[in-house]
């Protein structure tokens, strides 16, 4: 059986990489090897995982420097003998080993506007055409792995922005509300608030790493930015606002 040479982060912020050799078989993913490491050499190794099928977004880690799901990274993608470095997500405080404190995301989630849908028609149905919800459904594929949040340099390099910036995951959720065909929220709930949308300079890092292949930048962020510009930075409307005192 071949052996993988792993460098795994152990401990908290003041921890260090520890090297392990772990046997693996054809078809295994990184998460399998980490599980085997747990069962044989490091019984107290802290990791998060649930579905092991790329559906729950729990096992995010930085593998050889790239944020990925451990359960969807096959061992066959590494060169024989290559050292595989597994580190916790850098943007969030380390709790222990590969587990980080992602509670900031849950606090942002509380600030998101809630969908307010118009009522059903006389036949009791809320009618929507599939073509009108295709993009919405793309947004709702998000598995909340927070890999896009991890890679976004607005917060990765500037943690001080966390108070003013919701991050790509939540721009996707915001776009979901803003573009829902039956949503009745006023524009102030989505477009006006902005949630720090202006900080994003569309480098598409989030789109590149999304394991669900959501076109975060093109389909969520840019349309939201366009709506915001259209609504608040349109020169004619700006004059109108000055003349008539509307905010």
Q: Which residues bind other proteins (CB under 8 A)?
A: 25-29, 32, 38-40, 43-58, 72, 74, 95-97, 99, 102, 106, 109-110, 112, 114-115, 117, 120, 124-130, 133, 136-137, 140-144, 176, 180
Q: Is 137 or 203 the residue whose CB approaches other proteins more closely?
A: 137
Q: Is 130 or 201 the residue whose CB approaches other proteins more closely?
A: 130
Closest separation in Å from C-beta 187 to other proteins = 18
Closest separation in Å from C-beta 101 to other proteins = 8
Q: Is 142 or 225 the residue whose CB approaches other proteins more closely?
A: 142
Q: Is 140 or 237 the residue whose CB approaches other proteins more closely?
A: 140
Phi and psi at residue 69, in whole multiples of 5°? -85, 130
Closest separation in Å from C-beta 103 to other proteins = 8
Closest separation in Å from C-beta 242 to other proteins = 36
């Amino acid at each position: 059986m071949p052996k993988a040479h792993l460098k795994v982060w152990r401990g908290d912020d003041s921890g260090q990489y520890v090297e392990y050799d772990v046997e693996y078989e054809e078809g295994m993913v990184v998460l399998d090897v980490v599980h085997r490491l747990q069962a044989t050499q490091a019984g107290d190794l802290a990791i998060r995982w649930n579905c092991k099928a790329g559906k729950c977004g729990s096992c995010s880690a930085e593998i050889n420097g790239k944020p990925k799901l451990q359960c969807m990274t096959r061992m066959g993608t590494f060169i024989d003998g290559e050292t595989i470095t597994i580190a916790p997500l850098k943007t969030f405080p380390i709790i222990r080993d590969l587990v980080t404190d992602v509670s900031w995301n849950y606090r942002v989630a509380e600030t998101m506007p809630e969908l307010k849908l118009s009522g059903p028609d006389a036949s009791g149905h809320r009618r929507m055409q599939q073509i009108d919800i295709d993009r919405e459904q793309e947004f709702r594929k998000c598995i909340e792995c927070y890999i896009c949040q991890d890679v976004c340099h607005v917060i990765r390099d500037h943690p001080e922005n966390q108070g003013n910036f919701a991050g790509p995951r939540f721009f996707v959720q915001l776009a979901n509300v803003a573009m829902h065909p039956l949503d009745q929220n006023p524009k102030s709930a989505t477009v006006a608030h902005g949630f720090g949308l202006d900080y994003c300079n569309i480098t598409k890092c989030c789109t590149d790493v999304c394991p669900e292949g959501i076109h975060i930048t093109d389909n969520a962020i840019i349309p939201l930015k366009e709506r915001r510009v259209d609504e608040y930075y349109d020169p004619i409307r700006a004059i109108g606002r000055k003349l008539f005192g509307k905010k």
